[in-house]
Structure 1
Amino acid sequence: MKLRWDGGAHPAKLGIMVCGHGSRNPKAVAEFAQLTTGLARLLPHHPLAYGYLEFAHPVIPAGLDRLRSAGVKQVVAVPGMLFAAGHVKNDIPALLNRYSAATGLPISYGRELGMDARMVRAAAARITAALPPEARGERGGNLDQDTLLVVVGRGSRDPDANGNVAKITRM
């Protein structure tokens, strides 16, 4: 992943803020933190912080504070969420705009992870690996006829996000 410099802050002063939803489940919170640690290793020349919108700590403003303390002069914020619904479209941008207005820190906002073919392949591989051998067709079974996958897209009334859940299910 290579970040594009817009001519503003020197690239070394560009920070990355990964904005998570948050969860009441400590394992989910720890897994998101682990993901951002791996991402930071891929982008060693840019300070990276993370924060959650709700249910967990650190919150997004605390992550932005860490970046400012590290000398960052410009932030690229990305939502660490699969699809864009209310939080990605409204809540996180509003929070980032308030923070930027209060501190003067320029913040650019990226997009959700979305439906990338690599993501779909990775999900398919995880699903297949979880199946017993007969469901994978290894013992005469037929995956298409003998296996049912239930997909739950929870928490959104956003038609775009729900449409993407339906699309990814068909893939």
Structure 2
Amino acid sequence: MTAYTTNPPALVVVAHGSRDPRALSTVRQLLDGVRALRPGLPVHLGHIEIDAPLLPDTLAALDARGTGAAVLVPLLLGRGHHVMRDIPEAAAGARLRTRVAAPLGPHPLLADTLHARLTEAGWRTPADGTARRATGVVLAAAGSRAPESRADTHRTARLLAERLGVPVVPAYASAAAPTVPDALRALAARGRTRVAVASCFTAPGRFATQCAAAAPWIASAPLGTHEAMARLLVHRYDEALSLPVPAAAEPVPA
């Protein structure tokens, strides 16, 4: 844990925003988990779109209160457009001093959460070689046109595969290929007919529901309020503060 003197920079969790009310409820519970891990740390929420408060409004409110600095931690799982452009631009336009942390993925704590959610859904590592050769996992993510985002999802899939001992194939709900149904068909063509879908989504919503519905066996719940997610947010905050001040509020390398 980082030792603070007085007035630590505020931690601003930057969520995407969703029309599904379960998403906002989940994010608020996750922030409560962060506050429990780090009492005394000011923790705030800002959204990229749809939900209030929007990120610029959160930053303006912090400035109006006399908050000197903030670390923006994306509640996002890879380096898509929001992480590479939208969040740094909002940070650069703020009056208070800002740093932008790396997104949550890839990271071992994210893989731990995915593993835990699969286990809750009924996952058990196959006990023998025959069962293992018939088993696989599709890592279902939102998708992005940014190659950096796809690279991050592939790295997360590799981290999860190391824990599960079976192939983990990345797939996407939008903007990238393969889709979840395509990945399932590809695994079936290789004889892997016992396939789980690991939901790589921070909260319930349309994409998470759509991907889970395609699962031929089990599908895990979104990452949500798992304790490791709160730990990962705090880790990204501490990590951002430990590095030299980045130029123009650029995101900290993952």
TM-score by length of 2: 0.55
Instruction: Establish whether residue 125 from structure 1 lines up as the match of residue 120 from structure 2.
Output: no
Distance between the aligned counterparts of 1:154 and 1:122, measured in 2?
A: 17
Higher RCO (CA < 8 A, seq sep 6+): 2
The one of 82, 87, 91 aligned to 1:87: 82
Q: Name the % identity.
A: 28
**TM-aligned CA deviation for residue 63 of structure 1:** 2.1
Instruction: Establish whether residue 74 from structure 1 lines up as the match of residue 76 from structure 2.
Output: no
Segments of 5+ residues of structure 2 without an aligned counterpart are 162-254
Distance between the aligned counterparts of 1:63 and 1:143, measured in 2?
A: 51
Pairwise mapping of residues 1-171 of structure 1 onto structure 2 (< 5 A)? 1-2=1-2, 11-12=6-7, 14-98=9-93, 100=94, 104-131=95-122, 136-137=125-126, 144-170=132-158, 171=161
Alpha-carbon distance change, 125 to 47 in structure 1, aligned in 2, over 3 angstroms: closer
Equivalent pairs, count: 159
- SS of 1:123's equivalent in the other structure is helix
Alpha-carbon distance change, 66 to 43 in structure 1, aligned in 2, over 3 angstroms: farther
Distance between the aligned counterparts of 2:89 and 2:126, measured in 1?
A: 49
Distance between the aligned counterparts of 2:82 and 2:23, measured in 1?
A: 18
TM-score by length of 1: 0.78
Segments of 5+ residues of structure 1 without an aligned counterpart are none
User: Are 1:14 and 1:73, in contact at CA under 8 Å, matched by a contact in 2?
Assistant: yes
Residue by residue over 1:59-78, the C-alpha shift from the partner in whole angstroms, topping out at 9 and shown as x without a partner, is 11232234335431111111
Distance between the aligned counterparts of 2:66 and 2:8, measured in 1?
A: 7
**TM-aligned CA deviation for residue 141 of structure 1:** 9.8
Distance between the aligned counterparts of 1:16 and 1:24, measured in 2?
A: 24
**TM-aligned CA deviation for residue 137 of structure 1:** 4.3
